[in-house]
Amino acid sequence: MTKAIEIKKSVVSEIAEKLEKSTSCVVVDYRGLTVEEVTELRSKFREAGVEYKVYKNTLVRRAASQVGNMEMFDEVNLVGTNAIAISYEDAVAPAKIISDFAKNHPKLEFKMGYVEGAYYDAQMLDELSKVPSREELIAKLLGSFKAPVSNFVYLLDAIAKKKEEQSA
């Protein structure tokens, strides 16, 4: 085999391994972004622990066929200029970062993806990006647990102050 084929096979196996390990994978159309904008986007992904790479579509298709259950990476969905954001921990992080970045850079568009094994089209990814993060949900839950106790403490404090005023 030629050296080029060997290189392509190693890239396909690398992509397949990443797809297998990932909790989510989002495909975006990055056509029209400048180098500075892409660099800025990559740094945001890096901070969140998300891999962002541009692969050849045919290599991604081959890797997806090796993994199985990745029918969405076909000739219909995976055409044009695509980049892939892969997350191994926070399944919603790629969609949130892309959605936030796209507010100021409308050329960046969702194409499709999967989150924890389920296929998501562009519209579903946009909706997913609006879901609060795990940390935000935990903070809201703790706040709702804390509210009745805090109100009770304020009530007791007000009663104590009122009694002090009456005795004085």
**Tens of pLDDT along the chain (168 residues)?**
688 889 988 988 998 898 888 888 899 998 888 999 999 999 999 998 999 999 888 888 888 888 876 667 777 777 888 899 999 988 888 999 999 999 888 888 888 888 887 888 888 888 888 877 777 778 877 877 777 777 777 878 888 888 888 887
Amino acid, single-letter form, for residue 7: I
- CATH class, domain 3-131, is alpha beta
Q: How far is CA 67 from CA 36, 78, 136, in A?
A: 34, 16, 33
Query: Would you list the domain boundaries of the chain?
Result: 3-131, 133-167
SS3 state of residue 25? strand
Nearest-angstrom CA–CA distance, 167 and 147: 30
Nearest-angstrom CA–CA distance, 162 and 57: 73
Q: What is the pTM of this model?
A: 0.75
